[in-house]
Amino acid sequence: MQGIYVASDLTGLVLAYLDKNGVAAPDIRRRIAAWPQHTQMPMEDWWELLETLQAQLHEPGLGLKIGACIQPEHTGVLAYLIMHCSSLGEALLRFQRYQKLLHNMSEVLLDSDGQVLKMSWDADLGISTHLSNEVFMGGLTTFVRQIVSDDAAIRFGPKAIHFTHAAPFPEAMYQSVLGCPVYFSQPRVAIELDMALLALPINTRNPFLLELLEKQAEALLDRSERPDAFLDSVQSVCVEMLNNGIPTLEAVARRLNLSTRTLHRRLEERGLNFNGMLRETRFRLAKHYLEDPRLDLNQIAFLLGYSEQSAFTRAFRGWAGVSPMRYRRRLVAG
């Protein structure tokens, strides 16, 4: 199982915002410089980077403003692939297929009633931060406006945008920037589009380049989804050790006959850190255990290494945005 990651190329989007606004932020720039391009950056590191910048700037709608700086190089092959599609509808289908080249936090879901297309992102692996969601939504809407033909760009506009977080600033500011109604505290991040917009032509369409880039994207996607025996072994040891409390990096390294430094390095090569990998493993196990009605919450807490059910409940709420009991009720309701 892969860790939850974002493409490190997105850090270039933050740099573009800093440069555009003349913001020095030397510590942010140093942290970004430490990440090589074209790698998988742990999602938690991305979240922390954005939160640190917001703490320094106190800028309303910071995520949207960062997203508005988007250029193709900030999302790599995915952006160039989309740019060479024939229409917006074709581009959105490609985006759904290859989004994991950008991040694997959630799956893209497409739903339509015949009049409106709703693109949403599931929350099976938890809820992203409001800053990160703003960057992605600001980047998506800006990029679409860049690639549709000039006349169409004037016509393009979402019907509505949904965020899972509460509004941190007046809603009118979001509506002004995004150009549509914006709803907060929703179950999923989503964007609604008139079906008629799917026929909008892409101004950089090129069928030949599209075919080449799609082959490259398939190869990259295959690599990102390939089973990882080493990571499987680390997670298996963690699962075994959870019955006796929370595993540590040092203890897992000893079980694998590795030095702590080697284990840390090999996880880092995969864009992971030990604590983030352990949290994801516990969340995955928690969802699996909650599917079994024979296990009560105390038993699940024990299996996950928690000394108290309340600690497990707090942790699960942080992962999934709901309590484990509510999550179980949703499973039963289907």
pLDDT tens per residue, range 91-101:
999 999 999 99
On the question of pLDDT at 78 being above 90, the answer is: yes
Q: Are 32 and 15 in contact (CB under 8 A)?
A: yes
pTM: 0.69
DSSP type of residue 59: -
CA distance 14 to 138: 13
Burial label, 254 (beta-carbon count in 10 A; 0-12, 13-18, 19+): middle
CA distance 40 to 286: 25
Do 98 and 80 lie in one domain? The reply is yes
pLDDT tens digits, one per residue of 20-47: 999 999 999 999 988 777 778 889 899 9
> Is residue 76 very low, low, confident or very high in pLDDT (cuts 50, 70, 90)?
confident
- Smallest CA-to-CA distance from 151 within 83, 89, 207, 203 is with 203
Q: How confident is the model at residue 223 (pLDDT cuts 50, 70, 90)?
A: low
Q: How big is the CA angle at 165 (ends 161 and 169), to the nearest 5 degrees?
A: 85
Same structural domain for residues 325 and 237?
yes
pLDDT at residue number 227: 65
For residue 2, pLDDT over 60 is answered with no
* Alpha carbon of residue 293 to chain centroid: 30
56-75 pLDDT per residue, tens: 999 999 999 999 999 998 99
Give tens-digit pLDDT for 106-124: 999 999 999 999 999 998 8
* Co-location of 36 and 165 in the same domain: yes
Does 220 lie in the same domain as 139?
Answer: yes
Q: Based on the structure, what is the number of domains in the chain?
A: 2
Identify which has the larger pLDDT, 57 or 292: 57
Same domain membership, residue 186 and residue 301: no
Residue 85: how many other CB atoms lie within 10 Å: 24
Q: Which of 206, 225, 244 finishes a domain?
A: 225
Q: Which of 142-156, 164-178, 251-265 bottoms out in mean pLDDT, i.e. has the lowest? A: 142-156
From 202, 225, 248, the end of a domain falls on: 225
* DSSP type of residue 202: B
Q: Do 155 and 72 fall into the same domain? A: yes
**Same structural domain, 217 and 234:** no
Query: Are residues 130 and 23 part of one domain?
Result: yes
For 161-202, what is each residue's pLDDT tens digit? 999 999 988 889 999 989 999 999 999 999 999 999 999 999
- Which range of residues forms the domain containing residue 149? 5-225
Of 11-20, 84-93, 154-163, the least confident: 154-163
Same domain, 208 and 270: no
Spatial separation of the C-alpha atoms in residues 42 and 222, rounded to whole Å: 19
Give the pairing type, strands 189-194 and 160-162. Answer: antiparallel
* 169 and 41 inside one domain: yes
| Average pLDDT in the chain | 89
Same domain for 200 and 297, yes or no, is no
The last residue of one of the domains, among 196, 225, 254, is 225
